Structure 1
């Protein structure tokens, strides 16, 4: 009967094979469940920003409508009484997405919509918006929108017209 036990070299080889196998499993298995590269940048942030914009910041009296006064105030970056937008906050903070780059645009028939109206800043006298305000706003110094940006749209009614609110986050 041989009384041979496990030698140091047997232990080293066994542990090495075990560690290589465990490492392979941890590195390979996640790629099985997500084999394709994600082509969108920030879908959750874009959805959150669009929902907050349409349902809270620019919401009118009826569901699915935007308040023209609040919309003008938002795109002119001015505080308006009875509107939830605070112009002292950054665009990303106001939309609840922090320091991400964001672009907000209201589109009517494929073009950036404009809105005539009167801007009435909090505590100041009314000022007519002349020329009409283009309903487009972007994070300062964010540059061009990259190809991997996520764009989310919401159909709403603004001033009796059906328009599309587009929020792009990257």
Structure 2
């Protein structure tokens, strides 16, 4: 078995890895002993503020998902990549904050212009039947790891 060691990424390395956006996996804490609600997702990242932005889709059959995003629940977000230089990943945890038109301030609007949330079609329903809502994650904790020896 190959011995693959990891090292913590610096904030600069994390920002470079996250870029302006990409894809990852979001997990919502659920009540009781059930497993987390986990789904692939695209994200935008604003290095200036260190915040993540998500466009979540809720369809007519997604009552459980709607309940999860409407409640103040702890989430984890993970993004990962493997290249010829080795693997890298970043994990962010915290609570989502919905961005509504009425609550949109100039700083959030500026940050959303700096990010790029890829549109990835992973929906069970036709996109025209979905309600798209925007959320921000101001991480309580942000950690990055990379395969040892992959730093610049």
After TM superposition, the score normalised by the length of structure 2 is 0.29
Greater share of strand residues, 1 or 2? 2
Structure having greater relative contact order (Cα 8 Å, sep ≥ 6): 2
After TM superposition, the score normalised by the length of structure 1 is 0.27
